Structure 1
Amino acid sequence: MLALVVGAPVAADAPVAILDARLEEPVTRYDHGVLGDAVEWGTLRLWVDSCPGCARTDVQETVIRLPESRVFEDVEARLIGLDPRAPGAVMVVESDLSRGARLSLYTGAGLLAATPFIGQPHRWLAPVAAADLDGDGTLEVAYVDRPHLAKVLRVWRLEGDTLTEIGALENLTNHRIGWDHIAGGLRDCGGGPEMVLASGDWSRLVAVRLEAGYLSARDLGRYGSAALEGALACR
């Protein structure tokens, strides 16, 4: 069953910029609680400028409402796109009550692309980044697959309306059960984008790059909240 787009959906091929996105309509139909409580989200609300660059902004509001078998299991809706001045999609974790989580990309027209569901309930993923990670002009998205169990960083490339996995790296994490936030993220300290995460046992800070189709990791020192903040700020 597909999500329901409420309001005036924007044509899939129209040039747009998403101005804002919010998770709304709290629901308690999924008994997972990985983010610290029993409340998830039933809808995603988008504010879309259907004519970016025009003299007059034309803002349309769209609500994407999930079926009763799904929830948005995330801490925020992230605006993404190769042009940060005109983000064209939203990245969010979407969970199915019987198949677990997937990473979904939505536009004003509805679902653009998504990774496969993990495959069983109460299995989650934690987003890391959405950017051109290797400088080839194409958007990649990254998440940690089951950050409390499998602890695998996975990177996918967006090609049209399809996400294709292009790399994976084990023994990395960015979330503890019950946290209402996701640790780490993306930085660029002058040498290109790097993802900053924790080692699987939370003892080390790790920077990961995507280069020539391969993921490589390097140690940044002992893990800690201050060390993580400094690493993300290139200090």
Structure 2
Amino acid sequence: MTGGVGHAPRLPARLPARLWRGCARGAVLAFALVAGGLSPDVAVAEITGAAYGAPTTAYGHGVVPGGEYQGIEFTLDGTRKIGNAVLGGVYEDTSPRLIDVTGDGKPEVITVVSYFDKGSALRIWGERAAPDHPKGSEMVVLAETAPIGKRHRWLAVIGAADLDGDGHIEIAYIDRPHLAKTLRIWRLEQTARGGRLVEVASKTGLTNHRIGQEFITGGIRECGAGPEIITVDAGWQNVMATRFEAGQIKSRRLGPFSGRGAVHAALSCQG
């Protein structure tokens, strides 16, 4: 199962000062797409952890209690730490997600950035070889969606999997889970200039978060017949299973939404 229902892990109140030195450089780097960034042979270590850090109230949205942060810290090979700050916004999320979205067998990091003037965007981090770096590699942004376009407009990540069985990983999130309630499915593609996220399908009438929740309601399950996206309907009445097949999104009702237990059961293939 990729994604799921649960509370965000406890995060450090602030990242060590050594990780914030040179934040301006890191923040600028975060907006550059990486040429050749999806090549499976460039990583020299493996990302083993990621955590948001340095909580802030600068953005002041508050839909996820305590869920706005100045930066993120990555762990490589279990010991090496790399920090990065956001330029012009915050991380707004429950927790980073380590998922292989390039298909190379190694995890990347899925995050949500919220810009002060343009709202949320999905940002994918990965590791890139850097011969001039003392450690031989650095963390870079592989791709990022365009922001929603307005302050305090958020997206809630569901998860990532090969949803349609074509060998490529798709990433699913709910666009504005309290307003538009729209499922969007994206694919990370490689171009001559680097990686880009391409939207491949969308469907209204689904959601996965209520204002004030510290967790995401839903995820992606695999019960033997291919991946299914688990959410609730827009009115929070029913648990929904959604498939992405042949370029089309198809949803079906699994049963009434009676609370988190109903979603846990669905993710555990009990419904």
Normalising by structure 1, report the TM-score: 0.87
Contact 1:99 1:121 in 2 (8 A): yes
AA in 2 matched with 1:234: C
C-alpha separation in 1, matches of 2:28 and 2:102:
27
Is 1:191 aligned to 2:218, yes or no? no
C-alpha separation in 2, matches of 1:82 and 1:17:
14
C-alpha RMSD over aligned residues: 2.4
CA separation of 1:223 and 1:133: change in aligned 2, threshold 3 A = same
- Deviation of 1:157 after TM superposition, in Å, equals 0.7
Contact 1:89 1:106 in 2 (8 A): yes
Is 1:66 aligned to 2:86, yes or no? yes
CA separation of 1:101 and 1:82: change in aligned 2, threshold 3 A = closer
C-alpha separation in 2, matches of 1:190 and 1:216:
18
C-alpha separation in 1, matches of 2:154 and 2:63:
8
AA in 1 matched with 2:264: E
C-alpha separation in 1, matches of 2:186 and 2:102:
18
Alignment of 1:129-148 (within 5 A): 129-148=159-178
- Deviation of 1:82 after TM superposition, in Å, equals 5.0
Question: Structure 1, unaligned stretches of length 5 or more?
Answer: 50-56
CA separation of 1:154 and 1:65: change in aligned 2, threshold 3 A = same
Encode CA deviations 1:162-189: one digit per residue, 9 max, x unaligned.
1100000110000001111110001011
* Partner-residue secondary structure (3-state), 2:59: coil
* Partner-residue secondary structure (3-state), 2:163: coil
- Deviation of 1:64 after TM superposition, in Å, equals 1.6
Contact 1:154 1:165 in 2 (8 A): yes
Larger RCO, structures 1/2 (Cα 8 Å, 6+ apart): 2
Alignment of 1:24-39 (within 5 A): 24-37=53-66
Please state which structure has a larger fraction of its residues in strand: 1
Match of residue 50 from structure 2: 21
- Deviation of 1:5 after TM superposition, in Å, equals 6.2
Match of residue 118 from structure 2: 99
Match of 1:122 among 141, 145, 152: 152
Q: Percent identical across equivalent pairs?
A: 39
Normalising by structure 2, report the TM-score: 0.76
- Deviation of 1:61 after TM superposition, in Å, equals 2.4
Q: Tell me the matched-pair count.
A: 222
C-alpha separation in 1, matches of 2:154 and 2:94:
13
C-alpha separation in 1, matches of 2:217 and 2:104:
25
